[in-house]
Amino acid sequence: MEVERVQAIASLSVQLDNIPSEFIRSEHEQPGKTTFHGPIPEIPVIDLANKDGIVGAVTEAAKEWGLFQIVDHGIPVEVVKELQRVGSEFFELPQEEKEVYATEPATIEGYGTKLQKEDEGKKAWVDYLFHNIWPESSINYKFWPENPPNYRKANKEYAKHILEVMDEMLTSLSLGLGLEGHVFKEALGGEAIELLLKINYYPPCPRPDLALGVVAHTDMSAITLLVPNEVPGLQVFKDDHWFDAKYIPNAIIVHIGDQIEILSNGLYKSVLHRTTVNKEKVRMSWPVFCSPRDELVVGPLPQFVSEDSPAKYKTKKYKDYKYCKLNKLPQ
């Protein structure tokens, strides 16, 4: 096998009280040393059933935190549970069966272990599966597992519902800055916005105080809509501290990504976040990254650029932005 998967490393490490050195973060990153222990400010929770208050609540949370949780979002519980069930079962398959879906050089889609270049050659304690779920024209079914049998059906059903949530979030974010509701969505490509699903699989880790599942980053998408399993692990950086995000059953976690920060010329902030791991339990999450197509040009909207407020970001094709981000090059 060409790549050693973290799931395999974890099963070997379970007898030990240690992990391979390439997974041990430097001291300024270790969650055991850098997680805030004290009164934790409440990450906003927004009830989408309260139609009158949604725009104000979303706008305030997006400016203040860049991240919030939504409840009563309209996605049936059974649809989410089925998405999680088939995703979990995929990672329980024999290794050789998962390798059929391994990533290829020209794409990030597929089953993999390491995504970005890391300083000091460090590695994150995570395996993943990426594939597009919308629009139909962007889907490459070779990266959609055929086993478990209902995998494809569950993902198609979830895509249908998550599209509606995306529309509501983009509309609220537009209205909250005094724009017409359709402006952000249109600036991101309208019906051609791509939805990329990722399943993160974080195996149990003997030294969760030393390792990270995903290192500190902002998402390059416009927004990210994420459902976790019941094992907490998301941390948000705010006011110079790393705070744990509370697990809320049946909530969707909304991340503001880089493209919304760019379109708003910095009025909304892309959230810096990371993932910790658990000593006894598997943590999993299902983020959907809502992004423009590669060829779409994105820059600050003219409504937010003036003499007093010049453009803070370059206008460029999304594929060029992605290339710089993944290769840690200046934007």
Contacts of 231 (CB under 8 A, 6+ apart): 247, 278, 281, 282, 283, 284
Annotated catalytic residue 239: no
Options 73, 127, 219, 255, the catalytic residue: 219
Annotated catalytic residue 198: yes
Question: Is there a cis peptide before residue 148, judged by omega within 30 degrees of 0?
Answer: yes
Annotated catalytic residue 182: no
Annotated catalytic residue 217: yes
Options 73, 123, 131, 198, the catalytic residue: 198
Options 161, 182, 217, 316, the catalytic residue: 217
Is the C-alpha dihedral spanning 126, 131, 135, 138 positive or negative?
positive
d(CA 228, CA 247) in angstroms, rounded, equals 8
Options 238, 255, 269, 273, the catalytic residue: 273
* Nearest residue to 191 via CA among 155, 138, 144, 259: 138
Structural tokens at position 268: 């909304």
d(CA 137, CA 159) in angstroms, rounded, equals 14
Could you tell me the maximum CA-CA distance found in the chain, to the nearest angstrom?
A: 62
DSSP 303: G
Catalytic residues: 198, 217, 219, 273
